[in-house]
Chains A and B, each alone.
Chain A
Amino acid sequence: MPKALKMDVEASQGVKNFLKHLLESGKVKGVFALKKMNDSGAVSYSLITSVEELASAEPLMPLMPENAGQALSRLTVKEALKEPVAAVLRPCELRAFTELVKRVQGSEDNLLLISPICAGVFPLSSATDGSWEKQMASYAESSREGKIHPGVRKMCQACTSFIPGRADITVAFAGRKDTGSSCHLILDTPRGEEFAQGAPGTPETVEKEPAELAPLREARAARRSEVFKEIDVQGQKGLIKTFAPCLGCHGCMHVCPICHCVLCVFDSKMYELQPWSIESEPESKGGIRVPSGTLFFHLGRMAHMAVSCVNCGMCSDVCPVNIPVSEVFSMVGDQLQKVFEYVPGRDVEESVPSGTYKEDEFAGIGEQ
């Protein structure tokens, strides 16, 4: 059983106390976590370097203004951090960051990775209308009981990878009955243990996935199949039905942590209608949609990244016309991941499927 640090305070306060200890003791030079911008409920990922600023940090606030994997990539893509920084991010964000590091879009050097067993996040709209705050009590309660809170993002309700795989420190949160009055920081790696030395709390050993988490895992898996059944993307008909309202704003792509290209081919002019095709296209098709190439964009993006989709739900959350982008990409992603026996974010040393091959695989392909 892994070692843990038990603290006699509510979970998010426990994490904050731990971060405070790290900053004060000089073990880290900075903390990367969600921070309140003012009293309205708006939060942003921030790099915090002083204990005073840490007061408004909200490391476990159930909102995701940006996938933290993308945010950490911004901080580390040009150069690795020179001083130790503790980063608190959710499991899907950690998976996203791992995928980005694999693609040389960031570095884990000098990062202490802290991640909770996750109960999900609320849609971003609840940050602007303040409704997340009204739901916090019921959120904490359903988290303690290991139930799905009906207000969290659909992809969170349907997420079965809610236990962080490769954090240095895991915050035992979802499914733990005691999080209202105490909490456990599970020290997963030697690095985690090293940083926790001298931190407030009592050492204990705890199970990372105790039996009481099983019902939550089952409920999430059942919700996942339901969510996949609810979408209609079968055949040309289903695809047009689902993606017809698409504005072509590319918001889904810009918030996707895996879509990291500086200039995406779909944002370039490469596939815009050209003067010559403005005549020939409508002629052969009997008309054209403007903008055209909507399905091409979604299928193309899918071919580029769905095998690494971390199910974070960012894309669905930002879509102005409520297209279930994330549900579609996750459904396809699941199938692609089975083909390549690939689990996004599992191992930073593991190559992305398109960057490697085996000589003796897919034997049937090419022979016909």
Chain B
Amino acid sequence: MTQEFKPNLVGYLCNWCSYAGADLAGATKLEIKPTLSVVRVMCSSRVNSNLVLTALAWGADGVLIAGCHPGDCHYEQGNYYARRRFALLKKILESLDLEADRIQLSWISAAEGKRYADIVNDFAEKISRRGPSPLRNHSKI
């Protein structure tokens, strides 16, 4: 069944770097698994914990957040705050044994089309192997 399982992934991509990186990946016709639903955000720091938790609670099997590399954020410090928030949420999921590796934060620049494709493909493969999220489609929560 894991072979056939197609994960449902949500990607929050920062407008200035990672979204442009995704564009580049598309323009250069790199092969990308079609399992990631992309949401464009103005900065990785826009992604608060509720956005990630909403995705998980409403059926995502994994959530990818991508932003500019440290030092390159369009708003200078946004990604540093994003990194802290991510570390916090990850620790919460870890302390509750909630498969914390279903969330991932990756730095992807506008020039890194190849890196974007690799990250999305690797993430999709990792989550496919893991199977559906335990929170997915749960009628009791």
Q: How far is the CA of A368 from the CA of B140 in the complex (A)?
A: 34
Segment at the B interface, from A114-122, A139-147, A151-159, A292-300: A292-300
Which residues from 273 to 291 on chain A have a C-beta closer than 8 Å to any C-beta of chain B?
282, 284-289
Which residues from 72 to 93 on chain B have a C-beta closer than 8 Å to any C-beta of chain A?
77, 79-81, 83-89, 91-92
Count of residues in A whose CB is under 8 Å from the partner chain: 47
Segment at the B interface, from A42-50, A101-109, A177-185, A351-359: A351-359
Tell whether A339 is near chain B: CB-to-CB under 8 Å.
yes
Q: Is A240 in contact with B53, judged by CB distance below 8 angstroms?
A: no
Tell whether B2 is near chain A: CB-to-CB under 8 Å.
no
Contact residues in B for A353 (Cβ distance below 8 Å)? 84, 88
Pick the contact of A336 from B70, B91, B137 — CB < 8 Å? B91
Q: Is A365 in contact with B105, judged by CB distance below 8 angstroms?
A: yes
Q: Is A235 in contact with B98, judged by CB distance below 8 angstroms?
A: yes
Which residues from 50 to 86 on chain A have a C-beta closer than 8 Å to any C-beta of chain B?
none
Contact residues in A for B4 (Cβ distance below 8 Å)? none
Tell whether B50 is near chain A: CB-to-CB under 8 Å.
yes
Tell whether A11 is near chain B: CB-to-CB under 8 Å.
no
Contact residues in B for A354 (Cβ distance below 8 Å)? 81, 84-85, 88
Q: Is B139 in contact with A285, judged by CB distance below 8 angstroms?
A: yes
B141 to chain A: closest residue by CB: A295
Q: Is B80 in contact with A359, judged by CB distance below 8 angstroms?
A: yes
Q: Is A332 in contact with B85, judged by CB distance below 8 angstroms?
A: no
Contact residues in A for B95 (Cβ distance below 8 Å)? 331-332, 335-336
Pick the contact of B141 from A265, A296, A302, A366 — CB < 8 Å? A296
Q: Is B88 in contact with A284, judged by CB distance below 8 angstroms?
A: no
Given contacts A303-B50, A303-B53, A357-B80, contact A236 B87 (CB under 8 A): no
Contact residues in A for B105 (Cβ distance below 8 Å)? 365-366
* 12 A–B contacts, CB within 8 A, in A order: A235-B134, A236-B134, A239-B98, A295-B57, A296-B141, A300-B50, A300-B53, A304-B49, A340-B84, A354-B81, A362-B84, A366-B83
Interface residues of B (CB under 8 A from A): 49-50, 53-54, 57, 59, 67, 69-71, 77, 79-81, 83-89, 91-92, 94-98, 104-107, 119, 134-135, 137-141
Q: A239-B141, A296-B141 are in contact. List 11 more A-B contacts (CB 8 A).
A: A236-B98, A239-B98, A284-B137, A285-B59, A292-B141, A303-B92, A354-B84, A354-B85, A366-B67, A366-B69, A366-B106
Interface residues of A (CB under 8 A from B): 233-236, 238-240, 244, 265, 271, 282, 284-289, 292-296, 299-300, 302-304, 306-307, 331-332, 335-336, 339-340, 353-354, 356-359, 361-362, 365-368
